[in-house]
Amino acid sequence: MAAPLELSCWGGGWGLPSVHSESLVVMAYAKFSGAPLKVNVIDNTWRGSRGDVPILTTKDNIVSQPAKILNFLRKQKYNADYELSARQGADTLAYIALLEEKLLPAVLHTFWVENDNYFTVTKPWFASRIPFPLSLILPGRMSKGALNRILLTRGEPPLYHLREVEAQIYRDAKECLNLLSHRLGTSQFFFGDMPSTLDAYVFGFLAPLYKVRFPKVQLQEHLKQLSNLCRFCDDILNSYFRHSLGAFSCVNRNQQQTDFGEASLLLDKKRSMPICRNSPSL
Amino acid sequence: MTAAEPWPENATLYQQLKGEQILLSDNAASLAVQAFLQMCNLPIKVVCRANAEYMSPSGKVPFIHVGNQVVSELGPIVQFVKAKGHSLSDGLDEVQKAEMKAYMELVNNMLLTAELYLQWCDEATVGEITHARYGSPYPWPLNHILAYQKQWEVRRKMKAIGWGKKTLDQVLEDVDQCCQALSQRLGTQPYFFNKQPTELDALVFGHLYTILTTQLTSDELSEKVKNYSNLLAFCRRIEQHYFEDRGKGSSSIRLS
């Protein structure tokens, strides 16, 4: 289809095109299926609602939520699952369910609920992309939403204490990572040599966990021990996102520097994109 | 949880009242556990109590009372039974175990959530069936209060996972997708992992059989399952092999 496809999503950092899992899933899928997406990174001048991000806009449609966006792209003939058998398609659905039930609570917890991580990394990063005064409110709301989701889906008795729920969700997440690692084995992608929807989802969930520098890192440490999953993320970053990394650098706000810890984004010197300069302290 | 004691003869499974009270999703869960225990050849007696939900350690039914242990929900029950030395999935390799767990999550994620949605968020079903059944053992006004409380809890959860804004048609679409995936995975095999049933077979049987045999306000849900003939054959096979042959008779329930 000739109509331009625009994707609004959260931006990147730490070597990733986006730090937001759902945005990353859509971006990866677009790369795998060859869909020509124009990516608009949200910054603090963006006027639309940030609650539904990522959002795909075409001339006549606005689609939100990764599952619906991927469906839409498939209908536009950008299908990364073309080569898959029916059974592999069924496996895709099952593994995505596994990711959402077992891994997502712990990822949400690492980013939004764990106090050290939230206050030193997540909140400043998101607040810098939201205009004042929303920047004071929205990150807090996102954090509460994450906690709510964790408690409502996993926090039922006999796990009365948040600490017990935390222990359980991290156990489940580690098990899920182990299962994914077993399933991937030594293959390049989950279904042979070509990446598909499942690869997009796994990459979307795993890459932020792998790359973002957090103070409290138990899940990240576990992931780093699973070398085939790390290799999987690095391969996709190098093959599909190397050239576009320059477009996803963090935004400098006038004189202010936004500090992100020690990761750095080195850009092609020919590009004139602003460079994110990082200093160790926050 | 010790593995030392053998499985006692008087192990019991508790669920809500079969005829008047139990709902679709709880019945599916209970049937899944019963099927699992039958597959492991472990005898269990089913006892119906109106307050089963409150007796359960996790608030969910069914739960089993074995010796002096009380365990609820299929996941923990599978672990408990494994600790006693019985397991259906020992023969699977790591990749197959990963697949089995993934498909079990698919059933929980899509089928169970769809059942909960239909029971508690679809106005027609709520009004005609759910409210009346859920509070039936209790006197007025307790029956209304409990039903509304449960409905509020379920709706909160639906909203948190993003199902709050779904329409009934979208939910039925999801059920169809899930059934299609299960049907494709099952193929022409007798069970999901070929010759031997596993806890995945028990779980799928519990949900599909309940959907097929429960009368709701409309037949749309069971029609979605009926589209897949290998799933129908699968349910029939497990029913015949594990329920009728053991002299338990058919466990079909008419909820109307």
Confidence of residue A132 (pLDDT cuts 50, 70, 90): confident
Under an 8 Å CB criterion, which residues of B touch A? 57-60, 94-95, 97-99, 101-103, 105-106, 108-110, 156-157, 160-162, 177-178, 180-182, 184-185, 187
**Mean pLDDT computed over every residue of chain B:** 87
pLDDT over 60 at B71, yes or no: yes
pLDDT over 90 at A94, yes or no: yes
pLDDT of residue A281: 38
Reported as a single tens digit per residue, the pLDDT across B148-202 is: 999 998 999 898 888 888 889 999 999 999 999 999 999 999 999 878 899 999 9
Query: Tokens 């039974």 — which residue?
Result: B81
Q: Do A183 and B98 touch (CB under 8 A)?
A: yes
pLDDT over 80 at A8, yes or no: yes
The number of residues in chain B equals 256
Q: Which of B60, B95, B103 sits opposite A94 (nearest CB)?
A: B103
Distance between CA atoms of A181 and B219, rounded to whole angstroms? 41
Distance between CA atoms of B154 and B126, rounded to whole angstroms? 12
Residues of B in contact with A182 (CB under 8 A): 94-95, 97-98
pLDDT of residue B95: 87
Confidence of residue B1 (pLDDT cuts 50, 70, 90): very low
pLDDT over 80 at A48, yes or no: no
Reported as a single tens digit per residue, the pLDDT across B80-89 is: 999 988 888 8
Among A75-89, A155-169, B182-196, B223-237, name the one with the lowest average pLDDT: A155-169
Q: What is the DSSP letter of A112?
A: I
- Please give the ipTM for the structure prediction: 0.87
CA distances from A98 to A83, B79, B104 (A): 23, 18, 8
* CA–CA min distance B73, chain A (Å): 12
* pTM recorded for the entire structure: 0.85
Query: Tokens 């992992």 — which residue?
Result: B193
Residue A38 DSSP SS3: strand
pLDDT of residue B251: 45
Nearest C-alpha in B relative to A175: B98
Residues of B in contact with A95 (CB under 8 A): 102
B73: left (phi over 0), alpha (psi -120 to 50) or beta: left
CA-derived radius of gyration, chain B: 18
Residues of B in contact with A91 (CB under 8 A): 99, 102, 185
Among A202-211, B57-66, B231-240, name the one with the lowest average pLDDT: B57-66
DSSP H or E segment with residue A247: none
Indicate which of B70, B106, B107, B161 best probes the interface with A, i.e. most A CBs within 10 Å of its own CB.
B106
Confidence of residue B233 (pLDDT cuts 50, 70, 90): very high
Residue A216: which of A118, A117, A112, A125 has the closest Cα?
Answer: A117
pLDDT of residue A256: 36
pLDDT over 90 at B31, yes or no: yes
pLDDT of residue B32: 94
Reported as a single tens digit per residue, the pLDDT across B118-140 is: 999 988 888 888 988 888 888 98
* DSSP-derived secondary structure for chain B: --S-SPPPTT-EEEES-TTTT--HHHHHHHHHHHHHHHHTT---EEEE-TTHHHHSTTS-S-EEEETTEEEESHHHHHHHHHHTT--SSTTS-HHHHHHHHHHHHHIIIIIIHHHHHHHHT-HHHIIIIIHHHHTTTS-TTHHHHHHHHHHHHHHHHHHHTT-TT--HHHHHHHHHHHHHHHHHHHTTSSBTTBTS--HHHHHHHHHHHHHHH---SSSHHHHHHHT-HHHHHHHHHHIIIIIITTT---------
Residues of A in contact with B185 (CB under 8 A): 87, 90-91, 94
Higher-pLDDT residue of A279, B72: B72
pLDDT of residue B106: 94
Q: Which of B57, B105, B156 sits opposite A98 (nearest CB)?
A: B105
pLDDT of residue B103: 94
**Mean pLDDT computed over every residue of chain A:** 80
Confidence of residue A91 (pLDDT cuts 50, 70, 90): very high
Bridge partners, B12 (sequence order): B45, B65
Residue A83 DSSP SS3: coil
